A and B are shown apart, each in its own frame.
Chain A
């Protein structure tokens, strides 16, 4: 908490005056389960990328490849694992 701002430093009314600053709010620690992908079986269909509500699927757009997950923002909802056509994404408990 120590690095967070005190009340005198805040914008009145709790208004957010910087566009796109949700990026600074890392939601990855909300997770109880995390997705892991077995890239050997991945068909790079990008379904996980399209469905991810947090844009937390990392892709190599130049080569058209799914690469992995951005765990700073992945909330562990499991939608990617659920919709993956070849079933190569697995949800595993966070602590393991």
Chain B
């Protein structure tokens, strides 16, 4: 019988961190992540974990301390949000380049300016090309489950890359939910003991991390980094299946909801997928053949799985909770549409940017996206390939 807890997303992640018991956590508080790190700090002060908790003076230092501790040979975690992630930027890339399996929770929050503390995906989407694996969570349960899986994915000897686990700021991080937790022993067994590769503290085998790397080798190192993240896709799937055996909750790269005979699909990430499922149930009752493609793993981008899922559709609406200024649509749209270019059949695809700065998305908005794509398919006319939901003109 699984143990049930009343947790918000931050508490669920902090509890997972306690069960994982990392060697080092270096973190700096930032809304809406603060609550998670505070809770973990309590576990440290109560002696419930063996973790060395480093209270740093900024996020740049937090990620720097994580890189140092991971290179030294420790299992390392941190958490941040929005401007905190932006301040980490330089070192976020370095963690991935050095192939250090750091795990970081990001409570998605809008980037400044103007200053805003609420959810959108501009922070993690900005870091999408930094070389980290990115797992998005629909609710607190998934944030808990993803964090535990992230450790195993990151530390897989064929992967050895950092993993970002996201949860929508406030919507998930601060709302109390029913969360099923594993026993401490089950988590411990699932993640296994940490085996560092090339630890700096192995004095018998001295190594150098981050040396000067110029035109003679930098390019080859980047190519090998590209290979590493591409090759993590089957590992993410395998770990998702293994997690299912322990918890009863299996995970894939995508979650397909009512897609079996769907004609129109919606692509979304994060908490909006819950709203989309409710909307789809309602539309199905009215006879609409609609379904959801939830992207759980955005990096590496699961191109083949997405093409397979959406290419039979007539129309596809992509929801982007971030804007790319001057780009052709949001990052999810750009990737999905580019992946479909080589497909034998592909749906008409529209982009809807929504929810910036925590603007709520309602079932009516999602129904609007479906009706817009259906109308475009039926009339054969696309007036606006990129549009907005829930925006005042």
B384 within 8 A of A: no
Give the CA-CA distance A26 to B250 in the complex, in Å: 53
| A14 x B98 contact (CB < 8 A) | yes
Using a Cβ cutoff of 8 Å, how many contacts connect chains A and B? 52
- Smallest CB–CB gap between A1 and chain B, Å? 7
User: Are A13 and B208 in contact, CB atoms less than 8 angstroms apart?
Assistant: no
| Total interface residues in chain A, CB < 8 Å | 15
CB contact list, B150-164 vs A, under 8 A: 160
**A7 x B223 contact (CB < 8 A):** yes
Contacts of B227 in A (CB 8 A): 7
Asked if A7 and B207 make an inter-chain contact with CB atoms under 8 angstroms apart, the answer reads no
Task: State which size class the interface on B falls in.
Answer: 20 to 34
Q: How far is the CA of A10 from the CA of B217 in the complex (A)?
A: 9
Measured between beta carbons, the chain B residues less than 8 angstroms from A15 are 98-99, 198, 207-209
In the complex the two chains form, what is the Cα distance from A4 to B218 in whole Å?
12
CA–CA, A8 and B224, complex, Å: 7
Cβ of B228 within 8 Å of any chain A Cβ, yes or no, is yes
A14 adjacent to B207 (CB under 8 Å): no
Cβ A14 vs Cβ B217 within 8 A: yes
CB distance B207 to A12 under 8 Å? no
Contact (Cβ within 8 A) B209 A13: yes
Q: Are B220 and A7 in contact, with the CB atoms below 8 A?
A: yes
Once bound together, how far apart are the Cα atoms of A16 and B313, in whole Å? Answer: 50
- Minimum distance in angstroms from A20 CB to a CB of chain B: 9
Contact with A along B191-215 (1 / 0, CB 8 A): 0000001100000011111110100
Instruction: Flag if B208 contacts A4 (CB, 8 Å).
Output: no
Identify the B interface with A (CB < 8 A): 97-100, 160, 197-198, 205-211, 213, 216-217, 219-221, 223-224, 227-228
Given A8-B224, A13-B100, 8 additional A-B pairs, CB 8 A: A7-B221, A10-B224, A11-B198, A13-B98, A13-B160, A15-B99, A15-B198, A15-B208
